[in-house]
Structure 1
Amino acid sequence: MTPQTSWIPVLIVLPTMVPLLAAAVTLLAGRSPTIQRAVSVSAIGVALIASGLMLYLTSAHGTFAVNVGGWDGRGIAGTPLGITLVVDRLAALMLVISLTVLLCVVVYAIGQGIRDGTTEQPVSIFLPTYLILTAGVCNSFLAGDLFNLYVSFEVLLAASFVLLTLGASAERVRAGASYIMVSMVSSLIFLAGIAFAYATTGTLNLAEMAVRLDDVPDGTRNALYAVLLVAFGIKAAVFPLSTWLPDSYPTAPAPVTAVFAGLLTKVGVYALIRTHTLLFPGGSMDNVLMIAGLLTMLVGIFGAIAQSDIKRLLSFTLVSHIGYMVFGIAVGSELSTSAAIFYVAHHILVQTTLFLVVGLIERQAGSASLRRLGGLIASPLLAGLFMIPALNLGGIPPFSGFIGKVALLEAGAQDGSVLAWVLVAGSVVTSLLTLYVMARIWTKAFWRARADAPDGAMASSTASALIEEGTDVLLEEREDVGRMPVAMVLPTMAMVAAGLALTLWGGPIFHFTDDAAHGVLDRSEYISTVLHGPDPAHATDGGRP
């Protein structure tokens, strides 16, 4: 039985509205860091609780939709008006995983003491901007129309640019300029796609558009899909639209890089999944996506092999593993879509964790360069925090990365096409090379003795640590050098535990992603809920017939 309660619309709005309101409060409380921190952590915690309730409700009762402000009117030719927010199993899972990451990272950032970069400015903009980013991420997953999704992307763009350039160093400003230019190109292409979609269908509501696109000629549909594919491909860092990422992300502070790597590209992947299954079913672009997925995997991982800086190396592996998700989308079966959703959840947790660990490495040793590191095995805690997500990313059994990759390989084998088999082979090669680059980090940064490091300045001196300006100082010059603050270690441990939980409960979670995949591929429940309200027939057995 579908719950008939007035609080469900409020629940759907909370993940977006609470962080936005909290951003205003933290901006006003800029002279009181304690209030800022408490409000930020509490707001993200409330949003996470609301998302957890939605995860439970969608699992039991299917899809829910709300017209913001109670505006449920219809315009010319019955076109839905107003802002529609929709939560199904896919959106709810993305919300829970993303808010878990956002909560851990904000605690980590507070522990690291990230503010404006100077003590003279009384108002801190880091936490207000971070909360605006949180609202943008949540609204992207809930958006029920293309224009609302576009607004969410613009909110993310503005917030991420501020976070990327905090501190105003020359390196960060250059990276921010590159990032903003590429993102603006993506936004312009997306805006052109919105105009194209409205001219073609007379609506921007995704459910209504899905119905009307069925009557649009194939050539027009494919042209519209191609435009949106380019826009979302840039956001998701799909090759050849991914070259901007390794130059932009590594320059930011560790918590900012971590949340960017974990979430911003996944918003683009989510948009690809939603549009591919809801608006453009039928596989007209499957071969294009397969080729893009293969090249993304291989180019990304070969780029990682060539890196000596851990942040850049992980940025290339981030690009590489986006290819696995595109693989699942392209094959288009229920198994491959389920595996892609599972892999998105896995990768958000693991990739974020690895970047947080890099922040701890910088704190402990003063550098993220493999040429300057060594002897980190002397810290068993740091070694363990790195090893677990590294093995997980490499797909070693029984970790969640192995579960997701095996499911993708099985889906590719079931497809049976030549391209699918090439993707299967490429996936195996990419996984082996991922293990190689993780082993390379372990060997150079952890296993070898510090005296063996080839960079003489680091090999012959006392271990150093990173300070805000990016320079190295000797241990004896700072009391905190070589120490990992508890407020940074505990969130990292929580992220490692979340990745292990995805492994331990891999069976039930994969069953949930099966239901989510069934829901996005079937389309009928989503369309019916948005246009006509919830259907009681979908309220049992996860919406399955």
Structure 2
Amino acid sequence: MAAATSLPEAELAKALVMEPVEPSHWLIILPIAWCIMFGAVLIALRKSTDRQPLIALPGLGGLVLMTGLLLKVVVDNGPITMTMGRWLPPFGIAFTVDIMGALFAFAGAIAALAAGIYALKEVDSSSRRYGFYPFLLLMMAGVTGAFLTGDIFNLYVWFEVLLIASFGLLILGSEHEQIDGAMKYAILNLMGTTLFLIATGYLYSIFGTLNMADIAVRSKEMTDAAPLMTLASLYLLAFAMKAAAFPVNFWLPASYHTPRVAVAGVFAGLLTKVGVYALIRTLIMLLPAGHRELGFVLELVAASTMIVGVLGALAQNDARRMFGYLVISGIGVMLAGIALGTQDALSGAVFYALHSMIAMLAIYLLGGVANKLSGTHELSWMGGLYGKSPLSAVFALAIFFSIAGLPPFSGFWPKVMLVKASFESQDWWLAGTILLTGFLTTITLGRFFALAWWRPGLAGQAGETLPAKMDTSAMIAVAALVVVITGFGVLPNGLMALTDKAAEGVLNPAAYIQSVFPEGAPEQ
């Protein structure tokens, strides 16, 4: 270090960032450091189970505030970059945030806070002692890091962080069903992670860099000289496994029904969306030539994922398994936008992903409310919930309408955008698949509402003697999510404008590249 500081400033400027870091740029890494710090504190105080929520909820609230401020900074100033250790890119690890990454990080923080509130009553003292809140904060460090990193290997690292924490959350309770679900979840995700690592090693051998901005520049110059189709196919398979796309989707409904409701909800809302985000970043921004070649394959995968997901949901009697298949069906809708690849389609895919992060968490939490009122997750044994809690029926209608893509809720607008984009691209059959999926989803959720809320309670029902009073924390969490999906359904213009800018930034990453290389990308 002494030898380095003795060099003239002109020589140091060739290797290091010499300008002081702007205060607003600390917001790039502050959410990640914040989650790790709170996770560490909670681990140290794991035996003080009563204090865990008192520490974790302010931590999650702070995460919402930081990611919200980061989004504002990016919207006002464009993409921003911070390099670790001041090493100039592409050699230093860069955290680069554009509108898409900031939107995903902000929505993820909102979902995590809602799950933390719901867990106040659901997560007992034993689960707190074994790490529910520390695992949740550390998982959010991985999720947020994946959305904010500008380095493809660093994206792999954050995937590992969130997966390790998610394994801990999945097995809280140590029941046989949970261990079985965790094994399926772990094996398939480890396979996807291994493919991701292989693809990244292959990418480095081709480009000689792991910086996303540098790859985006070089991939345009190497269209005919590099096996980009092979590379894009590897990333597609790896991230399709992460996102639970057909035909590698079977692990999700086999595992997401086993953990605590708050855990399953935050998994459904966030983890598959990290896979979708990674697909957008790698296939469209980094490897556009590979994306063009794989466009029709992506369309087939998207349509198959939608249909398999909604038919699987329609066939279920267990509400938690039904929700898992609905998550898969929603992934297919997002993949449709990625497959089309136009600005309108990509904007719709990002809008739908943000909607799904909130709505899928909401339906899992609502399922937990229904279970507390009825004493079961089986639709055939539910009934009379409207009489026990009319407010829960109102929440159910709002959430169901939103997931089915019906107005005036948040799921309506991205589906309109995607159908319009499909017709503009002459892919009428893909538009028809989106509409058919929405129709079947409406039937699926209409059946759920009719059996659980509208139908009178059954004699001998599991929850017949349960009190009608609900946990305040559960109702607050569901109500907050309903407000979000209703607000963006009634007033969609602001979010739609942001997703349009996000799509434009991915398709034309000049501003992203400029934030990493203010003086131009380095020569090969």
The TM-score, its normalising length taken from structure 2, stands at 0.92
> Aligned with 2:253: secondary structure?
helix
Query: Which segment drifts farther, 397-406 or 432-441?
Result: 397-406
Match of 1:90 in 2: 100
Match of 1:522 in 2: 508
Q: How does 1:290-305 map onto structure 2 within 5 Å?
A: 290-305=299-314
In structure 1, C-alpha distance between the alignment counterparts of 2:488 and 2:152, rounded to whole Å: 31
1:128 equivalent in alignment to 2:138 = no
* Paired amino acid for 1:304: A
1:396 equivalent in alignment to 2:402 = no
Match of 1:538 in 2: none
Q: How does 1:331-342 map onto structure 2 within 5 Å?
A: 331-342=340-351
Q: How does 1:206-221 map onto structure 2 within 5 Å?
A: 206-218=212-224, 220-221=227-228
* Paired amino acid for 2:495: I
8 Å contact from structure 1 (residues 112, 485) kept in 2: no
Q: How does 1:375-414 map onto structure 2 within 5 Å?
A: 375-378=384-387, 379-414=389-424
In structure 2, C-alpha distance between the alignment counterparts of 1:250 and 1:337, rounded to whole Å: 30
Match of 2:33 in 1: 17
> Aligned with 1:386: secondary structure?
helix
1:42 equivalent in alignment to 2:28 = no
1:81 equivalent in alignment to 2:91 = yes
> Aligned with 1:532: secondary structure?
coil
1:183 aligned residue (185, 189, 194): 189
CA displacement, residues 152-182 of structure 1 (integer Å, 9 cap, x when unaligned): 1111111111111111111110000011000
Structure 1 unaligned residues grouped into runs of 5+? 75-79, 452-458, 465-473, 476-480, 536-545
1:323 aligned residue (320, 332, 355): 332
1:360 equivalent in alignment to 2:407 = no
> Aligned with 1:449: secondary structure?
coil
In structure 1, C-alpha distance between the alignment counterparts of 2:483 and 2:470, rounded to whole Å: 18
In structure 1, C-alpha distance between the alignment counterparts of 2:23 and 2:86, rounded to whole Å: 13
> Aligned with 1:66: secondary structure?
strand
Q: CA deviation at 1:109?
A: 0.7
CA displacement, residues 173-194 of structure 1 (integer Å, 9 cap, x when unaligned): 0000011000110011011001
Q: How does 1:87-486 map onto structure 2 within 5 Å?
A: 87-117=97-127, 123-218=129-224, 220-282=227-289, 283-378=292-387, 379-416=389-426, 420-451=427-458, 459-460=459-460, 463=463, 475=466, 482-486=468-472
* Paired amino acid for 1:178: K
> Aligned with 2:81: secondary structure?
strand
In structure 2, C-alpha distance between the alignment counterparts of 1:290 and 1:257, rounded to whole Å: 28
In structure 2, C-alpha distance between the alignment counterparts of 1:24 and 1:70, rounded to whole Å: 26
Q: CA deviation at 1:399?
A: 1.7
Query: Which segment drifts farther, 37-46 or 252-261?
Result: 37-46
> Aligned with 1:160: secondary structure?
helix
> Aligned with 1:86: secondary structure?
strand
1:490 equivalent in alignment to 2:496 = no
Q: CA deviation at 1:148?
A: 0.6
Q: CA deviation at 1:402?
A: 1.2
Q: CA deviation at 1:306?
A: 0.8
Q: CA deviation at 1:462?
A: 6.6
> Aligned with 1:85: secondary structure?
strand
Q: CA deviation at 1:463?
A: 2.3
Q: CA deviation at 1:33?
A: 2.6
Change in CA separation of 1:533 and 1:23 when aligned onto 2, cut-off 3 Å: farther
In structure 2, C-alpha distance between the alignment counterparts of 1:136 and 1:224, rounded to whole Å: 24
Structure 2 unaligned residues grouped into runs of 5+? 1-19
8 Å contact from structure 1 (residues 232, 271) kept in 2: yes
Q: CA deviation at 1:287?
A: 0.8
Change in CA separation of 1:462 and 1:440 when aligned onto 2, cut-off 3 Å: closer
Q: CA deviation at 1:392?
A: 0.9
Match of 1:77 in 2: none
Q: CA deviation at 1:20?
A: 0.3
Match of 1:468 in 2: none
CA displacement, residues 447-467 of structure 1 (integer Å, 9 cap, x when unaligned): 11122xxxxxxx325725xxx
Q: CA deviation at 1:45?
A: 1.5
Q: CA deviation at 1:66?
A: 0.5
> Aligned with 2:380: secondary structure?
coil
Change in CA separation of 1:25 and 1:437 when aligned onto 2, cut-off 3 Å: same
Aligned residue pairs, count: 498
Q: CA deviation at 1:534?
A: 11
CA displacement, residues 88-126 of structure 1 (integer Å, 9 cap, x when unaligned): 100111111110010111111123234434xxxx93411
Match of 2:84 in 1: 68
The TM-score, its normalising length taken from structure 1, stands at 0.89
8 Å contact from structure 1 (residues 222, 284) kept in 2: yes
In structure 2, C-alpha distance between the alignment counterparts of 1:335 and 1:373, rounded to whole Å: 41
Identity in percent: 35
* Paired amino acid for 1:332: G
In structure 1, C-alpha distance between the alignment counterparts of 2:519 and 2:472, rounded to whole Å: 48
8 Å contact from structure 2 (residues 229, 293) kept in 1: yes
Change in CA separation of 1:210 and 1:534 when aligned onto 2, cut-off 3 Å: closer
Change in CA separation of 1:441 and 1:205 when aligned onto 2, cut-off 3 Å: same
8 Å contact from structure 2 (residues 409, 487) kept in 1: no
In structure 2, C-alpha distance between the alignment counterparts of 1:533 and 1:296, rounded to whole Å: 43
* Paired amino acid for 1:138: T
In structure 2, C-alpha distance between the alignment counterparts of 1:295 and 1:461, rounded to whole Å: 37
Match of 2:8 in 1: none
1:57 equivalent in alignment to 2:73 = yes
Change in CA separation of 1:462 and 1:176 when aligned onto 2, cut-off 3 Å: closer
1:507 equivalent in alignment to 2:513 = no
